[in-house]
């Protein structure tokens, strides 16, 4: 089971891991020291398992190009991101049988913020019956940090059920 951290500790730990990177998601995409399991990859984006999550099995779809507004994204890249998120959501349903899976496209034109990145991205998050979007998309109750072994097991469980 991943280790739970209060919000302030989780935010500080992520900031420490990322360092001075101007974009959290570009750092996750580019830095070998932050290597995360990639469960699917396309021409324009990749689906990976983040180390810090609110729900185990959380999948993050990152556009390869650093973009902060929808106007910067090609139709082809956005459709691929949505297709990967849908495939990840279906795999999460098959792997974990959650009450539902939230798919959420996020990004911030205000720059890097504690709970999101300026870089447009899509989340696929398995949720329980009593979860509300505000609970799932916020670290107000803290976050979990997955170990390398936990990420590897999750990647195997999700990847084997992934079909596009």
Write the pLDDT tens digit of every residue in 30-41. 887 788 999 999
Flag whether the pTM goes above 0.85: yes
Question: What is the domain class of 3-159 according to CATH?
Answer: alpha beta
Write the pLDDT tens digit of every residue in 2-56. 899 999 999 899 889 888 888 888 988 888 778 899 999 999 999 999 999 989 8
How many Å apart are CA 2 and CA 4, to the nearest integer?
A: 6
Maximum pairwise Cα distance, the chain: 40
Q: Checking phi first, is residue 111 left (phi over 0); if not, alpha (psi -120 to 50) or beta?
A: left
Return the DSSP state at 112.
-
The neighbouring-strand residues paired with 127 are 100
Number of Cα atoms under 13 Å in the Cβ half of residue 163: 4
pLDDT score of 64: 95
Does the structure show a pLDDT above 70 at 113? no
How many Å apart are CA 25 and CA 14, to the nearest integer?
A: 12
How many Å apart are CA 140 and CA 43, to the nearest integer?
A: 35
Does the structure show a pLDDT above 70 at 116? no
pLDDT score of 115: 55
71: helix, strand or coil: helix
Residue 111 confidence class, pLDDT cut points 50, 70, 90: low
| Residue 63 contacts residue 82 (beta carbons within 8 Å) | no
How many Å apart are CA 113 and CA 90, to the nearest integer?
A: 29
pLDDT score of 34: 81
């Amino acid at each position: 089971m991943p280790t739970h951290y209060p919000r302030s500790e989780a935010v500080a730990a992520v900031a420490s891991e990322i360092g001075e990177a101007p974009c959290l998601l570009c750092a996750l995409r580019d830095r070998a020291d932050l290597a995360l399991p990639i469960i699917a990859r396309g021409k324009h984006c990749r689906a990976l398992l983040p180390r810090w999550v609110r729900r185990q099995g959380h999948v993050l779809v990152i556009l390869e190009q650093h973009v902060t507004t929808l106007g910067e994204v090609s139709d082809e890249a956005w459709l691929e991101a949505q297709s990967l998120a849908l495939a990840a959501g279906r795999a999460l349903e098959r792997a974990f049988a959650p009450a539902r899976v939230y798919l959420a496209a996020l990004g911030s034109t205000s720059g890097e913020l504690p709970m999101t990145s300026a870089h447009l991205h899509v989340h696929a998050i398995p949720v329980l019956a009593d979860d509300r979007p505000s609970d799932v998309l916020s670290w107000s109750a803290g976050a979990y940090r997955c170990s390398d072994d936990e990420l590897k097991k999750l990647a195997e469980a999700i990847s084997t059920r992934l079909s596009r």
